[in-house]
Amino acid sequence: MDKLTDYRPFEDGHMTRRARAGRSTAKRIVLMVFGISALAATLGLGYRLGHSDPALPDWIPLRLAAMLGSHHSQPAGSGPVIYYRDPDGKALYSKDARTTPDGRSYVAVHASEDVSFDNPPETAASAQDANSGAKRILFYRNPMGLPDTSPVPKKDSMGMDYIPVYEGEDDASTIQISQGKLQRTGVRSEPASLRTVTRPVRSPGTIKLDERRVAVVSLRAQSFIESVENVTTGDHVTKGQPLLRLYSPDVAAAGAQYLSIVGDGGGTANLAGRKQLIDGARRRLENLAVPADVIAEIDRTKTVPLTITWTAPRDGVILERTAVEGMRAMPGDVLFRLADTSVIWVIADVAEQDIDAVKIGAAATIKVRSLPGRGFKGSVALIYPQVNTETRTTKVRIELPNPDGVLLPDMFADVEIASGAEKPVVAVPNGAVIDTGARQIVFIDKGEGRFEPREVKVGTRGEDYTEVREGVGEGDRVVVAANFLIDAESNLKSALRAFTDGEKSK
């Protein structure tokens, strides 16, 4: 030891302890600053994660990702944009790009990502639950209906999950379709219900006069027309209205004979014989169609008039006039022809295949082209018992009132005859019935994408609904739209089953 160096053992120990204490304090300060910085960084990261929802790498555990409020990264979608969904995962969708009320854009969903409508992927836990429950998964089939199956869950080339087929579902009478495919193709069903099924039979027609309301004015004896009243074709006349005056030698002779018998007292010895003579003479006048008022005038005046006034036999429109002043009319000549048009006929030509649907008394609606927008109501009065060999139609007579006379003979008309069941029957929409030619089939919606083809017997087919006589009961849900998809699935399944059975039999 150097002599010049002072030896201070207590002072050296004291300085060493002070230096150590200083270094420990500095270390604690550094650690405190680092802890505060780490806490600030963690808080900033948590705030950013809570507001940006970034995707985390796959190596981060799911529990930690859930605690951080984020999710694992997903591969980028491929294919065209199918639709847009709400960014918060709500059940809101749009076919076009749009934004939320707070200004955030909807998320585009590509073809490979369109799995929201399909069945969720089967997990091991759910598979164990299914195996332990009443139903057991047999296999997984292609969601697009392709002949491809898998013993384990998988996805197709578009990212769609294969559909599980449970025990008891893989039978010949049931078709299973994914919910996503059903919604995308617009498959819709509704229950069969009791309805009155009507089917109007449409046919052309022609307006005709009621044959029972047509009358002619003719004479039964040779006569000469003295004068004709001021009536002509198209005029409307009433019953008893004068039409013409005539002179008939036969009528005059019969009237003179009647007066002579009536005026001859002949005593009271043979009253019965005299009465017979009077009745015979009067009957001769009646046989010559002498009007009753003319015979009454002869009885009153005891004279035979030189000319006789001939009147209209009924109300109607004059269709034809041939009487001319001064002419000689022979027995049977038609001097006037008139018809009552207050009730008319419509002769409809109904097609042969529709004649069975037309019934006597069925309501009919008549429309004519000269009166657009106006319809006339009538009823079927007669179905003619013959078919036209050239047109393959049957004539149907419809009677309807024509009080204002706007319907004229020989007009063309459009006829619509009501037909169908008179009481409610079980009916389904027309689109629900698939007619193969040999049989008719409907698809029963059994729920959860399962459908059963069922053969039915149909009755009356109306404009909107078809009567089902056998195969479907009231309340059964039937597919009414896009059932071609289910029919294609059924045909494909049948073909694959036949192929499989053929392979097994070899």
Q: Which of 158-162, 171-175, 437-441, 495-499 has the lowest mean pLDDT?
A: 495-499
Higher pLDDT, 168 or 379: 379
Q: Is the pLDDT of residue 304 over 80?
A: yes
CA nearest neighbour of 233 among 172, 316, 173? 316
For 135-192, the pLDDT digits (tens) are 677 778 777 655 567 778 888 777 788 877 776 554 545 676 666 776 676 778 888 8
| pLDDT for position 405 | 87
8 A C-beta contact, residue 336 and residue 321: yes
For the chain, percent of residues with pLDDT exceeding 90: 30
> pLDDT at position 110, please?
76
Residue 339 has pLDDT above 70, yes or no: yes
Identify any residues that bridge with 11 across adjacent strands, giving them in sequence order: none
Read off the pLDDT band of 101 (50, 70, 90). Answer: confident
Residues 115-130 have a mean pLDDT of: 46
What pLDDT, on a 0 to 100 scale, did the predictor assign at position 123? 47
Burial class (CB in 10 A: 0-12, 13-18, 19+), 274: middle
In this prediction, residue 140 carries a pLDDT of: 80
pLDDT confidence band for 264 (50 / 70 / 90): confident
CA trace torsion 366, 367, 368, 374 (10° rounding): 120
Residue 503 has pLDDT above 70, yes or no: no
Instruction: Determine the Cα–Cα distance for residues 32 and 465; give it in Å rounded to an integer.
Output: 83
- 472: buried, middle or exposed (CB in 10 Å: 19+, 13-18, 0-12)? buried
Question: pLDDT class for 389, splitting at 50, 70, 90?
Answer: very high
Structure token digits, residue 181: 């495919």
Of 127, 115, 128, 126, nearest to 162 by C-alpha is: 115
Question: Mean pLDDT, the chain, as a whole number?
Answer: 78
- Give the C-alpha separation, 78 to 55, whole Å: 18
pLDDT at 213: 93
Query: 129: buried, middle or exposed (CB in 10 Å: 19+, 13-18, 0-12)?
Result: exposed
Pick the residue with more confidence: 409 or 489?
409
| pLDDT, average across residues 395-408 | 92
Rg (CA), the chain: 51
Q: What is the pLDDT of residue 214?
A: 94
Contact between 460 and 471 under an 8 Å Cβ cutoff? The reply is no
* pLDDT at residue 432 in the model: 85
Helix (H) or strand (E) segment spanning residue 56? strand 55-56
Neighbours of 365 (CB within 10 A): 17
Mean pLDDT of 346-371: 92
> What percentage of the chain reaches a pLDDT higher than 70?
71
Site of tokens 């997990």:
123
Mean pLDDT of the 21-45 span = 69
Q: Which of 9-13, 81-85, 182-186 bottoms out in mean pLDDT, i.e. has the lowest?
A: 9-13
Which of 176-180, 266-270, 342-346, 352-356 has the highest average model confidence (pLDDT)?
Answer: 342-346
Range of lowest pLDDT (19-28, 318-327, 380-389): 19-28
3-state secondary structure of 306: coil
